[in-house]
Amino acid sequence: MRKSVIALSITAALLTGCGSDKAPAPKPNTAPTSQDVAYSISQSLTLNGQLEGADAEGSVSFSLVDPAEVTLGTLTITNATTGAFTYVTEAESGTEVVRFKVSDGKAESISTLTIKIDGFDPLYAEQWHLKNTGQNAFAKMRGKAGEDMNVAGAVAQGAMGQGITVAVVDDGLEISHPDLRANVVAGGSHNLITGTIDPTPFDDESAHGTAVGGIIAAEGWNGIGGRGVAPKAKLIGFNYLDDDPTGEVKSVQTFENFALSHGASAYSDSARVFNQSYGYSVPFPHGFDEDENDLYQEVTTESADGKGSIFVKSAGNGYNYFRSMGYYWMPIDYFDARKAGIAANNGLPFHNSNMSTDNGNVYNLVVSAINADGVRSSYSSVGANIFVTAPGGEYGEDHPAIVTTDRAGCDKGWAVTEDRPSTPFHGGLHPMNLECDYTSVMNGTSSAAPNTSGSIAAILSANPNLSWRDVRHILASTATQVDAEIAPVTVAVGKSEDAPQYDAIPSWITNAAGYHFHTEYGFGRIDLGAAVKMAKEYKANLGEYQVTEWQGNDELDKAIPDAEVAGVTDAISVEEDLVIEAVQIELTADHLRLPDVAVELISPAGTRSVLMTPYNGMVYQGVMDPTDPTDLVTGYDATPMLSNAFYGESSKGEWTLKVIDVNSGEYSFKIYKVADVEIPNEANGKLKGWSIRFHGHKA
């Protein structure tokens, strides 16, 4: 019985073995399938699309049959397994027809992707500040490709200012302009003269605020004109710089109107960004307007449920000269240097931005201007109080300015009838501007400010929960270090052949916290794509905002030696340990020729910031009446100055102020068409006191 079982088992095993030498029949391969797909997209927007295909047996791969078929834009298959793709184009219109294939490694299927391009802005191609392709923007010369704010990077991330309101505080805003009206808050603006909701300027030639509004938020993809940096932001306007043609309102610029238009009223408290493309220059030191300062602080720190608002401020256009009290004040060599094609005034700014104390207010984010070649605009004021730089361009004739909205019609604004064309684009004859609704000559830090305001609106649309300090931190952390090889500006101290050189505008510095900073550019040019990315992923915690009390040495009597590079120094030891967000000083020093004097501050970590460059326009002492106490300027008198160069450093330790007199020789300046004025030299001035305070948060 046992033997029979064994025999049966062997037989079964043999039978099983006989079948193992025959392979099972292979399953038949099913070819993959695909389907035609179609999409629509607008100029410069990013399409995130999906190719259609599948395979019954499993995974497939997607690819283009012929990449050369993509002729109007850039198509990238971002996931070859799923068929996800992106597409972006700068074309105004057209249809892209591209074949794609789906493969399983053995067989493939081919279908067609059709992309219809519809929705554009015809002047976008000339708006180099948005995307610099080396265009000329209707000027004689072209810019340098790539020198822009990377607005495309923000648009690709969907950050276009949606949900954010920007206040244009200017000479007014033409709220009926065809390219602005869709983004103007209905009933949200205010005429400070008439009390109506229409802030359109009374003077037909006043187009400044309308140009500013277009840079910020001209409507996008509507088939007319250009577009704004934040083309989905909302605008409200105030005619704070306007004049009453009837003469009944003597001055619009009262503190009441300042408050009404700057966030301290129901008329303006909906704005999270305030654009101030205005300022003033005076040839003598002066102090803060404390009422305005208090309002700036309150609105900045307490509005928007405590998140705060951001005031953007033009640095000024006075590098070469400035207008004040009805006259043009300028260096004595301005015209000769211009003829010779060399830098006047020892290459230094006649208007240092810290000369205007509203620019020394920490609650104003001060902006310098950069041009289409990626260097400082020729006119732009600069200083230690610059936070960032943004496109302002040049004058639009030889080199590109900014293309933006003008007053509508050929009888208003800057682009008027053909007998007065500023460029070929003006005058009503250019096919892209037949109605004269646009201008190609907007420039100045007046343009840099709205480029910044639009950028901030886009950043806030990416993350509305950001505070005013978060926005500044993002800008400082992501700005592009432009003009990286710029040489320092030095001046000889004294008149001898071997006179030592004073480094009045240093090259780019890297402070102890790792931030790059330059007197002309602040932290650099805005990189909006990088800023939006950081905003979306924002994780920094700046803690509670703190402002220290003023701490100082108020009873000094230290000589400022004439033409000595060592100058005079004084130190203050600070015990508070804050992470610095800004530093302010107040300086008192007697000197009867202030353009001789440079002022610098050195941190405990050794970072050096020149708060006031020499050969500046503090020249009123040349025309003052020394017998009139109300006209006498003895020097600096608790004069405020601001520096952003120490951002991120510690406040704790010894801070050193240094005052240097660079000139023992003659000094003259020019009041244009009035007189050349000489200011006699004073052997020694006196450092009489200074104080310092810090804005920041606990380490």
Nearest CA to 585 among 573, 601, 563?
601
Q: Which of 129, 177, 208, 695 is catalytic?
A: 208
Question: How many other C-beta atoms can be found within 10 angstroms of the C-beta atom of residue 678?
Answer: 12
> Which neighbouring-strand residues pair with 671?
329, 675
CA dihedral 274, 377, 601, 295 (to 10 degrees): -10
Cα torsion 125, 128, 134, 135: sign: positive
Give dist(CA 39, CA 37) in Å, integer. 7
> What are the φ and ψ backbone dihedral angles of 144, each rounded to 5 degrees?
-105, 120
Instruction: Collapse the DSSP code of 677 into the 3-class scheme (helix H, G, I; strand E, B; otherwise coil) and give the result.
Output: strand
CB 578 within 8 A of CB 655: no
Nearest CA to 72 among 55, 88, 53?
88
The 3-class SS string of 590-614 reads ECCCHHHEEEEEECCCCCEEEEECC
Nearest CA to 522 among 554, 464, 573, 478?
478
- 170 catalytic? Reply is yes
CB 199 within 8 A of CB 304: no
Q: Which of 446, 609, 651, 691 is catalytic?
A: 446
Question: How many other C-beta atoms can be found within 10 angstroms of the C-beta atom of residue 271?
Answer: 31
- Residue spans of beta strands (DSSP E) within 213-316: 234-238, 273-276, 310-314
Nearest CA to 49 among 81, 90, 77?
77
Residue 689 tokens, joined: 């006191």
Residues 6+ apart with CB under 8 A from 480: 524, 525, 526, 527
Amino acid at 446: S
- 446 catalytic? Reply is yes
Which DSSP string do the residues of 646-667 spell out, in sequence order?
TTTSB--EEEEEEEEE---S--
Give dist(CA 609, CA 384) in Å, integer. 7
Amino acid at 241: L
DSSP category for residue 14:
H
Cβ burial 507-523 (10 Å sphere, 16+ → b, else e): ebeebeeebbbbbbbbb
User: Taking every pair of C-alpha atoms in the chain, what is the biggest distance, in angstroms?
Assistant: 142
> What are the φ and ψ backbone dihedral angles of 575, each rounded to 5 degrees?
-90, -30
Amino acid at 271: A
Instruction: Collapse the DSSP code of 441 into the 3-class scheme (helix H, G, I; strand E, B; otherwise coil) and give the result.
Output: strand
Nearest CA to 453 among 367, 372, 577, 512?
367
> Which neighbouring-strand residues pair with 284?
none
Give dist(CA 437, CA 695) in Å, integer. 44
CB 687 within 8 A of CB 558: yes
Q: Which of 148, 170, 406, 596 is catalytic?
A: 170
Residue 88 CA from chain centroid, whole number: 25
Residues 6+ apart with CB under 8 A from 238: 167, 168, 169, 170, 172, 173, 189, 190, 192, 199, 257, 260, 261, 267, 268
Nearest CA to 238 among 299, 307, 185?
185
In 3-state terms the chain splits into helix, strand, coil percentages (rounded to 5) of 20, 30, 50
The catalytic site residues sit at: 170, 208, 446
